[in-house]
Amino acid sequence: MNFFNENITIVLSNKRILRKWISEAIEREGKEAGDINFIFCNDDYLLELNFKYLKHNTLTDILTFSLDDEDGILCGDIYISLPRVKENAIKFNQKLQDEVHRIMIHGILHLAGYKDKTKREKFVMRIKEDYYLELLYSMLNVNDPFIEKLI
């Protein structure tokens, strides 16, 4: 599991715990963790990918590309627009770190096969996100900052 930045700077703390959390979530979904990359970027970078690969000319907070090479082994690239996540945190009155956690597990759930196009799919996705966020918070010391530095 890797964490990268493209055209933005974010320094994540607790990477060891985040990796453990994500691996545990994947295992609970009956899958195995393969090569998974989280790429934090800006709106322009993600907009370009969204248009190039999906022909959507809209801003989004996340794009998930599955690169599974074996059944049950999750591999993929999860692109996250930090400005969109920040906007969502404000919109939904959440801490930035909580919204970053939510969008990270959202991408993992997409890799695991969950969709969020219909009302029912969105409901199931939200229940799963909440479940795995509770798992993370049980693993984290809530006094440790998730994001040490954000520029």
90 is a domain residue: yes
35 is a domain residue: yes
6 is a domain residue: yes
- Taking CA atoms, 118 is separated from 33, 113, 125, 150, in Å, by 27, 14, 10, 34
121 is a domain residue: yes
116 is a domain residue: yes
24 is a domain residue: yes
47-91 pLDDT, tens digit each: 999 999 999 999 999 999 999 767 889 999 999 999 999 999 999
67 is a domain residue: yes
| CATH number of the domain bearing residue 15 | 3.40.390.30
Going from the first residue of the chain to its last (151 residues), give the mean pLDDT of each consecutive group of 10, the final group possibly shorter.
92 90 97 96 96 92 89 94 96 94 98 96 98 93 49 31
Question: How many residues belong to the chain?
Answer: 151
Provide the number of structural domains found in the chain.
1
94 is a domain residue: yes
d(CA 24, CA 30): 10
- This prediction has a pTM of 0.90
Residue 120 belongs to domain spanning: 2-142
Task: Identify the CA nearest to 86 among candidates 61, 107, 63.
Answer: 61
Strand-pair partners of 41: 6, 81
